[in-house]
Amino acid sequence: MARLAEYRAKRDFDITKEPRGRLNRAAGKSRRFVIQKHDATRLHYDLRLELGGVYRSWAVTKVPSLDPAVKRLAVEVEDHPLDYGTFEGTIPENAYGGGTVQLWDRGQWRPQSERSPAKDLEEGHLKFELDGERMHGGWALIRMRDRDTHRRQARHNWLLVKERDESAIPGEPDALLAASTSVKTGRTLDEIAGGVRPKRTKRIAAARAKPKTVKKKVRAR
């Protein structure tokens, strides 16, 4: 439970509809990832990688860059429960993280090396592949040096960098700004904030049309 202590301490679950969540050690083999676009005090993109029963999380201050030459600041934040991976909605203004949350991408991730990704993160350098609806191919998270070396910072700054591969678009760091709707409900941030009901996205419609066995295989974890 200790891993979610900070997450819970920051939130009043009588006010916010975010999940309390629980540690899910059984899901150790699964490596889901999500990105939640969060229109809070400052708009940012919360990158979450499933690891050790929680989502390790970073707040990326701008849209992830598809140009390998343009690095994005990713501020490490508290681990989030796996239940958080489907959360979309509005957090009241007076609550922690007040603002609108949109499920912007989702899929699977895998480390590029055979090494333990937990150890790679501990050492401040993780290379990984994303198989999402919007994010693809190779990426790297690189921890920056603490400004004050005498005091261990609680929150580390990292850089999120696209690797040079076929899914990179050199010269177009903001290409993903065009992706403005939810991968879960098809809604824009304004529509989520305004309480517009979820739309049936193409992907949802396609999944429903498929026979059950195929759906099971895709969802196996």
By CB under 5 A, the residues from 99 to 138 that bind Mn ion are: none
Q: CB-wise, 46 or 50, nearer to Mn ion?
A: 46
DSSP 141-190: EEEPPPS-TTS--SS-EEEEEE-SSTT--TT-TTGGGG--S-TTT---HH
Count of beta carbons in the 10 Å neighbourhood of residue 219: 8
Per the structure block, which two tokens stand in for 207? Answer: 């999944």
In sequence order, the 6+-apart residues with CB closer than 8 A to the CB of 26 are 53
CB of 101 to Mn ion, least distance (A): 7
Q: Which of 18, 39, 46, 50 binds Mn ion (CB under 5 A)?
A: 46
Residue indicated by tokens 């009901």: 197
For Mn ion, the closer CB: 91 or 168: 91
Closest to Mn ion by CB, 38 vs 187, is 38
Asked if residue 38 binds Mn ion (CB under 5 A), the reply is yes
The residue sitting closest to Mn ion, measured at its beta carbon, is 38
Scanning 22-30, 46-54, 130-138, 207-215 for contacts with Mn ion by CB under 5 A, the matching segment is 46-54
Size of the site for Mn ion (CB under 5 A): 2
The set of residues, in sequence order, having a beta carbon less than 8 Å from that of 52 and lying 6+ positions away, is: 3, 25, 28, 118
- Within 70-89, which residues bind Mn ion (CB under 5 A)? none
Pick 46 or 191: Cβ nearer Mn ion: 46
Residues within the interface to Mn ion (CB under 5 A): 38, 46
